[in-house]
Chains A and B, each alone.
Chain A
Amino acid sequence: MTDTTLTLDRNISQPIVVRERKSGQYWLWLLLAGAYLALPTFGNEYWLNAIVVPFLILSLAGIGLNILTGYAGQTSLGSGGFMAVGAFATYAFLLHLQLTFPIALFLGGLIAALVGFLFGLPSAKIKGFYLMVTSLAAQFFLEWLFLKVPWFYNYSSSATISAPRLDTFGINLNNSLGKYYLVLTVVAVLTWVALNLVRSQTGRNWMAVRDMDTAAAVAGIRINHSKILAFAISSFYLGVAGALWTFAYLGSAGVQSFGLSRSFQILFIIIIGGLGSISGCFIGAAFISLLPLALDVIAQTLFAGRVDAGLLQNIQKAIFGALIIWFLIKEPDGMARLISSWRSRLSIWPLRF
């Protein structure tokens, strides 16, 4: 009939080349080296603390939500709540157990993962919009909890928490460079972990559940396990991001820093950056951090301070909203896709002549 031969149990003659995505890796190393060496040397302190640190933390939170929404396909509006869990849990470990910061941070992340796991359990039964209820339940309940139970903020009258110390195995990181390196290292390590995860069987299972869960079950994937794992891991990332946001960026914060608008912000980061893309989280976070600055500059130069701050904020809000709609219509895969298609167009550009 045809000359199709069966090669299933034979070894294939030529070795399989499994070395894709390599060229991107040099860029990654270069970027990392730049972040460790060049940025602190050339950037000024304001930039590091007011722009780069929050940008990195938001990227991390974006990765957390992207794992859940972009990879595993479970929508959540509760990111802020899980960030709060990480922050308050880390605080408790710092305060009551006097742990060194990285360990407290890790444990804080685990507590957030546990809470994420619990709120993820309904996902076994509930889908889509219905599942959004779970995440909003989490968001509002956690906000309420961290406001109403004074133990969490150690009975302080302002209902805020601030790190007693920021030492890391004896080294004091309570200065701008120290905080920057702390955040950078945590973000770099967790980004590596996230990349490993999404490129592994775990990540493929998530994407399968996202694309079509019935087919995923038929293909032998434990869909409930996959979803709940995504909830837990996502919350771990969000929890760590929340703790860093509190202790390495703001210095002290209350639960107000982790309200619903924070959840939206993280969601916007991944929509703009790209659902289902790790690099997209950084792009989206950069975008969301830089857009207000850019608008400020434009307003300054064009109207020289005649536009008041409130109006500017509303303009910014409207622009964000419009961008979200624009991206959903024109580029549902976000800026990550936009940039990679520019890159590939650029690389074949000479051929057009």
Chain B
Amino acid sequence: MTLFLETLIGGLLAGTMYSLVAIGFVLIYKASGVFNFAQGSILLFSALLFVTLLEAGIPFALALIPTIAAIAIMAVLIEWWVLRPLTNRSAMTLFMATLGLSYVVEGVAQGAMGANVHALDIGIPDLPIFVGDLLISQFDLVAAITAIALVAILALIFDRTRIGISLRAVADDTRAALSVGINLNRIWQIVWTVAGITGLVAGLLWGARQGVQFSLSLVVLKALPVLIIGGFTSIFGAIIGGLIVGASENLAEAYIGPYIGGGITSWFAYFLALLFLFIRPTGIFGERTIQRV
């Protein structure tokens, strides 16, 4: 039972990381209808830039400023060069464009900053602690708390600020939002920046654990099943989806893995998502609509 609980909690905590990445997707998807495959590369880029700055001797807090600035600049460029010229094109075309974008960002990031693994110490010890009689990773705990804090901040932004309200308007009805004078291009730039920052947070947490390296960009692949389960348009769904994927993946690896050779986390989430799709083809939080003809 203890093992089960520990596995479950470990999975849930790891799942918050998926949630964090998935939130970035949801933001972008809501605002611009793009399934942003480049989210992983942007995460890699920003984490890599941050580590490089740290290694150059710049203090932690100070290094955040140019990193966030770089994310904002990247968002603006993406909006200019990719999103704007592809307005009104199919979602699939946009997706493929972000696939190309991910190659550009990765190529530039690794070309400019190298492909080495960088150790990153953000001051959280990666030692397990006992909570009651359960052994829990302290690091995961901090990561989860950070994720929760970030979500709370995002929720505040969306509820209280003008930008947030405009964003919700765009997500609800793009045409109506345009007609009341909301600048869609500006919204896109802001949203891509915010999504980039959530990516940075996830990238730093993850990078601190396993080193900042290319494989960070692969978290994007976990986001798809998370979004399928949680729905593409719900931040709450992304969180739940992340937790479900994290927990079930961990449990499956612990209980099924040993019988079939292990390493099943590479595909387990996808089969889980497929299962969900068969039961509810539009995700838990997605709405069923009938195509108009």
Binds B, one of A87-95, A199-207, A245-253, A318-326: A318-326
Q: Give the Cβ gap from A213 to chain B, nearest Cβ, in Å.
A: 9
With A144-B264, A328-B100, A329-B85: A318-B107 Cβ-Cβ less than 8 Å: yes
Residues B277 and A322 in contact, CB atoms below 8 Å apart: no
Q: Does B14 contact A (CB under 8 A)?
A: no
Residues in A with CB closer than 8 Å to B105 are 321
Residue of A nearest to B107 (CB): A318
Interface of B is mostly: helix
Taking CB atoms and an 8 Å cut-off, the chain B residues in 100-129 that contact chain A are 100-108, 110-111, 114-115
Shortest Cβ gap from A137 to chain B (Å): 4
B85 shortest CB reach to chain A, Å: 5
Contact B291 A214 (CB under 8 A): yes
> Main secondary structure on chain A at its contact with chain B?
helix
User: Which residues of chain B come closer than 8 Å to A125, judged between CB atoms?
Assistant: 277-278, 281
* Chain A binder among B159-167, B178-186, B188-196, B268-276: B268-276
Q: A324–B221 Cα gap in the complex (Å)?
A: 20
- Chain B contact-residue range equals 35 or more
Please report the C-alpha to C-alpha distance between residue A14 and residue B6 in the assembled complex, in whole angstroms.
81
When each residue 219-244 of chain B gets 1 if its CB lies under 8 Å from chain A and 0 otherwise, what string results? 00100110010001000000000000
B107 lies within 8 A of A133 (CB): no
Shortest Cβ gap from B241 to chain A (Å): 12
The listed residue (A129, A130, A311, A322) touching B111 by CB distance below 8 A is: A311
Contact indicator B100/A129 (Cβ below 8 Å): no
**Set of chain B residues within 8 Å of A147, measured between Cβ atoms:** 263
Does residue B205 face the partner (Cβ distance < 8 Å to A)?
Answer: no
Closest residue on chain B to residue A325 by CB atoms: B100
Q: Is A332 an interface residue (CB 8 A)?
A: yes
CB distance from A256 to the nearest CB of B (A): 13
A140 in the interface, Cβ–Cβ < 8 Å? Answer: yes
Q: Would you call A32 an interface residue if the criterion is a C-beta within 8 Å of the partner chain's C-beta atoms? A: no
Check if B277 sits within 8 Å of A126, measured CB to CB: yes
Contact indicator per residue, chain A 127-164, by CB within 8 Å of chain B (1) or not (0): 01110111011001101100111000000000000000
Q: What are 30 sample pairs from A and B whose C-beta atoms fall under 8 A apart?
A: A126-B281, A129-B35, A130-B228, A133-B277, A134-B274, A136-B221, A137-B267, A137-B273, A140-B270, A141-B270, A147-B263, A214-B293, A314-B107, A315-B107, A317-B103, A318-B106, A318-B108, A319-B107, A321-B100, A321-B101, A321-B104, A321-B106, A321-B107, A322-B103, A322-B104, A325-B82, A328-B86, A329-B82, A329-B85, A332-B89
> Which 4 residue pairs across A and B have the least CB separation, nearest first?
A321-B103, A318-B107, A324-B100, A314-B111
Beyond A148-B262, A329-B82, 16 extra complex contacts between A and B, CB < 8 Å: A132-B224, A133-B225, A136-B221, A141-B271, A144-B266, A148-B263, A149-B261, A310-B110, A317-B103, A317-B110, A318-B111, A320-B107, A321-B103, A321-B107, A322-B103, A324-B96
Interface residues of A (CB under 8 A from B): 75, 122, 125-126, 128-130, 132-134, 136-137, 140-141, 143-144, 147-149, 214-215, 260, 264, 267-268, 271, 310-311, 314-325, 328-329, 332
